């Protein structure tokens, strides 16, 4: 399960200056972590960023620990 989630994290030098992103969608991991640390819930983030999936948020959390 862990490795499946981490496959959602991509690194591409042409996207976001090579920062780790969610599925190449131009959402840097650090941005999603900032949203989570600011107190936003998973449901709020998913509502605001409709192209993200719940598994993406779990992958970001896993990548960040």
Topology of the domain comprising 2-64:
Arc Repressor Mutant, subunit A (1.10.10)
What are the residues whose beta carbons fall under 8 Å from the beta carbon of 43, sequence distance 6 or more?
A: none
Q: For 40-55, what is each residue's pLDDT tens digit?
A: 999 999 999 999 999 9
- Bridge partners for 21 per DSSP: 10, 28
pLDDT of 1 over the 70 cut: no
Q: Could you state, in order of their start, the residue ranges of all structural domains in the chain?
A: 2-64
Q: Are 20 and 9 within 8 A, CB to CB?
A: yes
Q: What is the pLDDT of residue 46?
A: 98
Residue 41 region by backbone torsions, left for phi larger than 0, else alpha for psi between -120 and 50, else beta: beta
Q: What is the pLDDT of residue 30?
A: 96
């Amino acid at each position: 399960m862990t490795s499946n989630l981490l496959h959602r994290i991509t690194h591409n030098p042409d996207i976001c200056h090579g920062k780790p992103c969610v599925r190449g969608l131009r959402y840097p991991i650090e941005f999603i972590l900032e949203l989570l640390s600011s107190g936003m819930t998973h449901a709020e983030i998913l509502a605001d960023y409709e192209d993200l999936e719940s598994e993406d948020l779990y992958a970001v959390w896993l990548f960040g620990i």
